[in-house]
Structure 1
Amino acid sequence: MDRFFTHSATTHGITVRVAVSFLPDRSRADSARWFWSYHIRIENHSDSAVQLLTRHWVITDGRGGVHQVDGEGVVGEQPVILPGKSHDYVSGCPLTTPTGRMEGVYRMMRDDDELIAVEIPRFPLVAPAVAD
């Protein structure tokens, strides 16, 4: 596995890898705003093309507050990923606490019209000042 991607999960032959970065230049502790970017790589190791239709995120802040996000595709796209290929995108997440976590599910359609749920692995959001 690429060392850049520190979290991964495989479901139905689809591997989702995540790399997360804290963005100090977009964060302001005095305003209770912390911001992370995350890079997702979706790899198709199955024998079937898949199209990413929807996403479901569960975002939990450091106080245990849960925010759920549902939407079509990712960053405005509903990519088709052929066998042996991958799709990358980058997005971001603000929190009002310096720690939290994200996890979720992609809903995908295989080329045989089967709908599948693909796990997005849980990954921590930790601002460096509170990492210890």
Structure 2
Amino acid sequence: MAMLFPNVALTRGIAVRVAVSYLAEQSDPASQRWFWSYHVRIENGGDVAVQLLSRSWRIVDGRGTVHEVHGEGVVGEMPLIGPGASFDYVSGCPLDTPSGEMSGTYRMVDEDGTAFDVDIPRFPLLSA
């Protein structure tokens, strides 16, 4: 598991694991375009169900420019993740530099209606 998902953050029993892949076939360095996909697995190690409400990403390109991205849910869903269950999704990130990094948080709410933020581990975007 650790090799498949080398980037892990743990918050209140919720593990967020990320594996990233550089997609050379979707990238065009001559046009200053590089593209990565990232696979996220959110594992609920707690004893109550949680629902993912929103995401906040901090994307830093190779020049150090920070892009903030906020939105509801992930991939069009607001998954409810029961105790011991997990939710997987894959998304992508284009940059106009050959490297960068991503990090962020998910806003969750538990069965009692308590909202809290879960850390997304920082992970590198590398094309070489």
Q: What TM-score range do you get, normalising by the shorter chain?
A: over 0.9
Deviation at 1:2, TM superposition (A): 3.7
Work out the CA distance in 2 between the residues paired with 1:121 and 1:6.
10
Name the Cα RMSD after superposition.
0.6
The answer for the alignment partner of 2:31 in structure 1 is: 31
**Alpha-carbon deviation of 1:113?**
0.6
The CA distance in 2 between the partners of 1:16 and 1:106, in whole Å, is 9
| Secondary structure of 1:25 counterpart | helix
Offset of 1:98 from its aligned partner?
0.3
Shift of 1:8: 0.3
How many Å separate the matches in 1 of 2:32 and 2:43?
Answer: 35
Amino acid corresponding to residue 74 of structure 2 in structure 1:
V
Structure 1 CA distance for aligned equivalents of residues 36 and 24 of structure 2: 8
Which residue number corresponds to residue 90 of structure 2?
A: 90
Q: Where has structure 1 moved over 6 Å in runs of 4 or more? A: none
Quote the residue 1:56 is aligned against: 56
Q: Cα deviations across residues 60-98 of structure 1 (Å, max 9, x unaligned)?
A: 000000100000000000000000000000000000000
TM-score (norm 1): 0.96
SS of 2:63 mapped into structure 1: coil
- The alignment status of 1:74 with 2:74, answered yes or no, reads yes
Structure 1 residue 3 displacement after superposition:
1.5
Q: How many equivalent residue pairs?
A: 128
Which ranges in structure 2 are unaligned for 5 or more consecutive residues?
Answer: none
Q: Identify unmatched segments of 5+ residues in structure 1.
A: none
